Homo-oligomer: A and B are copies of this chain.
Amino acid sequence: MLKYDPAKMVERFKGCLANKKEIIEIADKVSQEGFSNIFFIGVGGTITYAWSIQEILKPLTTLEYYAEHAADFNTLGSKKFTKDSLIVVSSSTGDTKEVVEAVDKAKAIGARVVGFVDTPGTPLAEKADYYIPGGSYYRYYTFFLRLVHNNGEYPEFDEMYANLEKLPELMPTVAEAAEKDAEEFARIHRDDAIQYLIGSGNMWGPTYSYAMCIMEEMQWMRTKSVTAGDFFHGTLEVIGRDDSVILFYGEDATRPQMERAEKFLHTICKNVTVFDTAKYELPGIDKKFRGLFSPIVLGGITGRIGVYLEEYGKHPMPIRRYYRKLDY
């Protein structure tokens, strides 16, 4: 397997679990203090995590939660944002311009800021009232589901966490099982005119993100991502027999939307590629948490797709035309 280091992969994901104690302490503290609502503020890839959390929280909790793009938060604002709001931000670099501005705005009004920031010593790590070293679904699930637990709506928190802890060790088997399909997809479709990507529920965030942050940003591939729900209300008409369509299936309650899209697509298109978390064995994981964990499992699959997109595209991921080359 090309560019594959299972031990490193396990170590990286285990690292996401290393902050359990401090994340729970922070969640318990803000729950105890109380808050009127939660704003998870991000841009690009990080806002898509906020979308997934939103879809996960919808059926679970009455807590008021808003996934907000930092650029909108900074310009449009929200009348629901007050000093009693809880602001959550996430950043890899720790200096994302719009997010820094949002945090300054939050602090000016006296709202508490929880920062999931990969790089210590950066503006966002320094400005956060509560600092957690790094993002990832592992950490977000721990934090947000703990808040729901503290709101009396998620008694299975400990059970969920015990399952979550088993995931890192399972990721190499996911990657290995995805290898053949990932390589084949990239080999055949890397240079197609456009990629259509379809996702739903908590998989919509990762689907949008894969199209924009990996294919567009890091591979300069043309994409259009669309929710399974909206696919039938416009995008279907542009799909012809030879277009490349990718479905990122998860296992939450929106799965029937994906089945509907796939069934239709097979009748009009011959390049339908399905990546479905349900097809991957996860020994030791309780069935009832599989839907919640789908975005994490998908990461094991898309990691392998990426390796072959860059290989067949002769386009290493780190290449950028504009990012940190030009001012904007």
Residues in A lying within 8 Å of B, measured CB to CB: 43-45, 47, 55, 58-62, 64, 69-72, 75-80, 98, 153, 193-194, 200-201, 212-213, 215-218, 220-224, 226-230, 232-238, 240, 252-257, 260, 263-264, 267-268, 320-323, 326, 328
Query: Can you list 18 pairs linking A and B with CB atoms under 8 Å apart?
Result: A43-B232, A43-B233, A47-B230, A58-B72, A61-B79, A69-B227, A72-B200, A72-B257, A75-B254, A75-B257, A212-B233, A217-B235, A220-B240, A222-B222, A236-B322, A236-B323, A263-B328, A267-B326
A218 to B235 Cα, complex, angstroms: 10
CB of A216 within 8 A of CB of B234, answer yes
Cβ contacts under 8 Å, A193 to chain B? 193, 222
**A193-B193, A260-B328 in contact; A234/B45 too (CB < 8 A)?**
yes
Cβ contacts under 8 Å, A222 to chain B? 193-194, 222, 224, 238
CB of A321 within 8 A of CB of B237, answer yes
Partner pick for A201 among B55, B72, B253, B267, CB 8 A cutoff:
B72
Number of chain copies forming the complex = 2
Cβ contacts under 8 Å, A213 to chain B? 233-234
**A222-B194, A235-B212 in contact; A230/B55 too (CB < 8 A)?**
no
Partner pick for A59 among B64, B77, B216, B228, CB 8 A cutoff:
B77
Cβ contacts under 8 Å, A322 to chain B? 236-237, 264, 268
**A224-B224, A237-B322 in contact; A71/B229 too (CB < 8 A)?**
yes
Cβ contacts under 8 Å, A47 to chain B? 230
3 tightest A-B CB contacts, nearest first: A44-B233, A71-B229, A212-B234
Cβ contacts under 8 Å, A323 to chain B? 236-237
CB distance from A135 to the nearest CB of B (A): 14
CB of A230 within 8 A of CB of B79, answer no
CB of A217 within 8 A of CB of B238, answer yes
**A70-B229, A233-B212, A328-B260 in contact; A76/B58 too (CB < 8 A)?**
yes
CB of B44 within 8 A of CB of A230, answer yes
CB distance from A319 to the nearest CB of B (A): 9
Partner pick for A238 among B55, B75, B216, B254, CB 8 A cutoff:
B216
CB of A78 within 8 A of CB of B58, answer yes
Cβ contacts under 8 Å, A252 to chain B? 76
CB of A201 within 8 A of CB of B254, answer no
Partner pick for A256 among B43, B45, B75, B215, CB 8 A cutoff:
B75
Cβ contacts under 8 Å, A223 to chain B? 224, 238
